[in-house]
């Protein structure tokens, strides 16, 4: 015991330095965000205004919920290719129902997209968890199915905001509510993932499904939960997109999938599964928001933005690998 204390004090300086670099590496998305913000701000000074920064955050919230969805999947060692399609389909189906059946109480209408998102996610989860199908194939199939369904239920048209009750548009259109509810959601998900049994079991399943099974954690049940949660947050994302746009565009959700990967990975969520901190996802969301805003101020075409997102995913993966290796080399020595 005494010996241990002596050793500790001798290593104090060393440990402090190691601990700081570890802390910085684990949360590297924040310095990366700040650096990007400063560089882009020098090129385009309008970015530096405080209202602009708040606006960037506000702009990123609908996508942020979809990023939460993808992050939960990646921590669980799986990916959800259908997340963007669920965003679009759940918002569209809810929008059509609200528009066609005016009898629905406006307060109740709020839960419709969330509920439809959950159903879509449960459908994925059933095939992947209980029927043991490959998540990549299942979500690839439902990505197309939900996308097609969105266009079918919309009959090819955008739903204008005039058909939707004000309270339905509120979460996504009110800047203060939008931002604060997102931050609350992030904290709740963080508590769930790190401090509850089902949450930590998502990390376990992401680490190894076989080990989970042998330790009495049912991977089938966990996969069902993971995809249900993913669908739920995609549905919430649909609700916020609707409010933000003040309409349900027929293209809603089309550009969601790639940014969710880019943001989650750059935030330190490992593609290997079982690793990642949801709090850092706020940093990833902001980082993407700044880049997006920068591109928009320069009026870069949507096509070019898609190319940009493609490369962003690649850069994020490279960055993540570099960070993980660095982190490992420090931890191995501790």
- Distance in angstroms (rounded) separating the CA atoms of residues 97 and 115: 13
Dig out the tokens for 322 from the structure: 């570099």
Q: Which residue has the tokens 């993980």?
A: 324
Under 8 Å between Cβ of 265 and 271: yes
Site for another protein in 166-195 (CB under 8 A): 191, 194-195
Q: Is 221 a residue that touches another protein (CB under 8 A)?
A: no
Q: Confirm or reject binding of residue 308 to another protein (CB under 8 A).
A: no
- Neighbour count for residue 3 (Cβ, 10 Å): 7
Give the nearer residue to another protein in terms of CB position, either 47 or 205. 205
Q: What are the residues whose beta carbons fall under 8 Å from the beta carbon of 151, sequence distance 6 or more?
A: 250
Helix/strand/coil for 257: helix
- In the three-class reduction of DSSP (H, G, I as helix; E, B as strand; rest coil), residue 247 is classed as strand
211 binds another protein (CB under 8 A): yes
**Binding piece for another protein, criterion CB under 8 A, among 21-29, 81-89, 210-218, 227-235:** 210-218
Nearer to another protein, 211 or 307 (CB): 211
In whole angstroms, the minimum distance from the beta carbon of 275 to another protein comes to 5
Entry field: residues in the chain? 334
C-beta atoms surrounding 150 within 10 Å = 26
Residues in CB range of 210: below 8 A, 6 or more apart: none
> Which of 247, 270 has the CB closer to another protein?
270
CB nearer to another protein: pick between 48 and 322: 322
196 contacts another protein (rule: CB under 8 A): yes
Token pair of 34 as six digits: 């700040």
For 167-206, give the DSSP string. Answer: HHHHHHH-HHHHHHHHHHHHHHHHHHHHHSHHHHHHHHHH
Matching residue, tokens 């949360």 = 27
Answer for which of 158, 174, 181, 208 binds another protein (CB under 8 A) is 208
Q: Is the separation of the CB atoms in 154 and 250 below 8 Å? A: yes
* Other CB atoms within 10 A of residue 182 CB: 23
Nearer to another protein, 158 or 208 (CB): 208
Q: Is 275 in the site for another protein (CB under 8 A)?
A: yes
Residue 225 as a binder of another protein (CB under 8 A): the answer is: no
Among 197, 299, 303, 325, interactor with another protein by CB under 8 A: 197
Q: Does 16 bind another protein (CB under 8 A)?
A: no
11 is an interface residue for another protein by CB under 8 A: no
**In the bound complex, what is the minimum distance in angstroms from residue 291's beta carbon to another protein?**
29
With binding defined as CB under 8 A, does residue 203 bind another protein? Answer: yes
Q: Given candidates 207, 250, 300, 317, which one binds another protein under the rule CB under 8 A?
A: 207
Point out which residues pair with 160 in neighbouring strands. 247
Q: Which two tokens stand for residue 333?
A: 């020595």
17 counts as binding another protein under rule CB under 8 A: no
Cα 144–chain centre separation: 20
Which one of 6, 102, 155, 332 is in contact with another protein (CB under 8 A)?
332
> Which CB, 212 or 286, lies closer to another protein?
212
Tokens of 40: 């882009």
Q: Cβ 311 to another protein, closest distance in Å? A: 28
Q: How many residues bind another protein (CB under 8 A)?
A: 29
Residues near another protein (CB under 8 A) are 4, 191, 194-197, 200-201, 203-204, 206-208, 210-218, 270, 272, 274-275, 331-332, 334
């Amino acid at each position: 015991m005494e010996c241990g204390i002596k050793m500790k004090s001798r290593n104090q300086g060393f440990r402090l330095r190691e601990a700081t670099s570890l802390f910085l590496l684990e949360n590297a998305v924040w310095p990366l965000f700040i650096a990007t913000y400063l560089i882009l701000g020098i090129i385009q000074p309008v970015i530096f205004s405080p209202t602009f920064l708040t606006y960037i955050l506000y702009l990123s919230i609908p996508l942020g919920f979809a990023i939460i969805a993808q992050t939960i999947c990646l921590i669980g060692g799986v990916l959800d290719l259908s997340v963007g399609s669920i965003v679009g389909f759940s918002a569209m189906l809810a929008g059509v129902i609200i528009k066609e059946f005016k009898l629905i109480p406006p307060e109740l209408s709020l839960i419709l997209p969330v509920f439809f998102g959950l159903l879509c996610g449960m459908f994925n989860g059933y095939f992947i968890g209980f029927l043991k199908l490959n998540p990549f194939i299942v979500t690839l199939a439902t990505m197309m199915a939900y996308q097609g369904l969105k266009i079918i239920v919309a009959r090819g048209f955008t739903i204008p905001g005039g058909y939707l009750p004000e309270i339905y548009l509120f979460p996504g259109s009110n800047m203060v509510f939008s931002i604060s509810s997102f931050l609350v959601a992030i904290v709740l998900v963080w508590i769930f993932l790190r401090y509850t049994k089902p949450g930590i079991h998502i990390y376990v399943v992401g680490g190894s499904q076989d080990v989970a099974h042998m330790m009495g954690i049912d991977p089938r049940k966990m996969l069902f939960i993971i995809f249900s949660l993913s669908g739920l947050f995609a549905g919430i994302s649909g609700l916020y997109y609707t409010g933000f746009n003040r309409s349900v565009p027929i293209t809603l959700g089309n550009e969601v999938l790639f940014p969710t990967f880019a943001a989650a990975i750059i935030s330190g969520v490992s593609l290997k599964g079982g690793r990642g901190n949801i709090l850092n996802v706020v940093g990833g969301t902001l980082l993407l928001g700044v880049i997006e805003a920068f591109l928009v101020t320069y009026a870069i075409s949507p096509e070019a933005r898609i190319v940009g997102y493609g490369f962003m995913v690649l850069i994020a993966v490279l960055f993540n690998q570099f960070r993980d290796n660095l982190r490992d080399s420090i931890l191995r020595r501790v």
